[in-house]
């Protein structure tokens, strides 16, 4: 996958696969996203965590990342992993995080990320491209809907972490 040059009204950025040299920028953007989502204390990943997950010395990555470069630096990221649908028997992409620096929004970077990941799905014969968005994040919800995404409102997300995860594992 080579860089994708945007066809936005204000070109001047590219989307490319992240490299190990992008880890610090990815972490910076994850922390900015956590602050935007009102949970800055929850972003506890370290550079080592990201290097292990995205660029392991042994085996396949657990996750993948693309970055947007503009103005000579990384200004956005999309972190994703391969999902699987038992109904279709095919893989897909689960978009874990998509973030573009606030001052870079409106240039088409978010759409360029979605386009590139949709292209990956089709190139690989995968059937789904999914993600979640916080209920209060109206600008993102409107943006995703404008791209043809449909909310799966009949589903409820569950999570077990922290002490609850430890209790469950011990039971």
Rounded distance between C-alpha atoms, residue 164 and residue 153, angstroms: 26
What are the CA-CA distances from residue 136 to residues 30, 37, 72, 106 (Å)? 19, 9, 33, 20
HEC-encoded secondary structure of 18-49: CCHHHHHHHHHHHHHHHHHCCCHHHCCCCHHH
Q: Is 128 helix (H, G, I), strand (E, B) or coil?
A: strand
Contact 97, 78 (CB under 8 A): yes
Out of 115, 144, 159, 166, which one is annotated catalytic? 144
* 64 tagged catalytic: no
Q: Is 149 helix (H, G, I), strand (E, B) or coil?
A: coil
DSSP E strands in 1-111: the ranges are 4-5, 13-17, 64-70, 73-85, 90-100
Bridge-based pairing of strands 73-85 and 90-100 is antiparallel
Contact 109, 68 (CB under 8 A): yes
Catalytic residues: 144
């Amino acid at each position: 996958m080579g860089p994708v040059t945007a066809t936005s009204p204000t070109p001047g950025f590219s989307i490319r696969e992240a490299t190990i040299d992008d880890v610090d920028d990815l972490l910076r953007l994850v922390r900015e996203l956590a602050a935007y989502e009102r949970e800055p204390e929850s972003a506890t990943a370290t550079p080592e965590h990201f290097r292990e997950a995205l660029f392991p010395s042994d085996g396949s990555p657990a996750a993948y990342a693309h970055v947007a470069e503009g103005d000579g630096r990384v200004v956005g990221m999309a972190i994703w992993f391969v999902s699987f649908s038992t109904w279709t028997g095919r893989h897909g992409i689960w978009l874990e995080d998509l973030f573009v620096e606030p001052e870079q929004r409106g240039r088409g970077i978010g759409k360029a990320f979605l386009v590139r990941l949709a292209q990956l799905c089709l190139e690989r014969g995968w059937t789904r491209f999914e993600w979640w968005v916080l209920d209060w994040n109206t600008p993102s919800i409107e943006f995703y809907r404008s791209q043809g995404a449909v909310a799966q409102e009949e589903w409820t997300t569950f999570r077990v972490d922290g002490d609850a995860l430890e209790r469950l594992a011990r039971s």
